[in-house]
């Protein structure tokens, strides 16, 4: 596989942190715009201690705009500022 590519299957159940190191939860799914193919949101099972009151929610999950993703390695890191302004 080429550098910079990752299969979606490898992302399932990865830990999600904000850029300040706080645990957000675990990636459950990714939302894709069917017309454009653009990734639009991460669906995250929130950590039990996370205050989810400021987040867009669907059932027991929080939705985070995909453009808040800073990096994907062993964990997924989200830009704290983008989360605050979009939540």
Q: Which domains does the chain have, with CATH numbers?
A: 8-86 (2.30.30.240)
Closest CA to 27 of 40, 11, 39, 38: 11
What pLDDT, on a 0 to 100 scale, did the predictor assign at position 1?
Answer: 40
What pLDDT, on a 0 to 100 scale, did the predictor assign at position 12?
Answer: 74
What pLDDT, on a 0 to 100 scale, did the predictor assign at position 2?
Answer: 47
In what helix (H) or strand (E) does residue 62 lie, and over which residues does it extend?
Answer: strand 61-65
Closest CA to 87 of 54, 60, 59: 54
pLDDT in tens, the chain (87 residues): 445 665 666 677 799 999 999 999 999 999 999 999 999 999 999 999 999 988 999 999 999 999 999 999 889 999 999 887 554
- Predicted TM-score (pTM) of the model is 0.85
Instruction: Give CA–CA dist 1/85, Å, rounded.
Output: 35
Tell me the β-bridge partners of 23: 17
Instruction: Give CA–CA dist 61/46, Å, rounded.
Output: 6
């Amino acid at each position: 596989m080429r550098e910079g590519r990752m299969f979606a299957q490898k992302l399932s159940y990865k830990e999600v942190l904000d850029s300040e190191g706080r645990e957000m939860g675990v990636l459950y799914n990714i939302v894709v715009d069917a017309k454009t193919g653009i990734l639009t949101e991460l669906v995250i099972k929130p950590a039990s201690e996370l205050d989810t009151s400021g987040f867009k929610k669907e059932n027991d999950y929080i939705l985070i705009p995909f453009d808040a993703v800073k990096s994907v390695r062993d964990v997924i890191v989200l830009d704290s500022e983008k989360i605050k302004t979009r939540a």
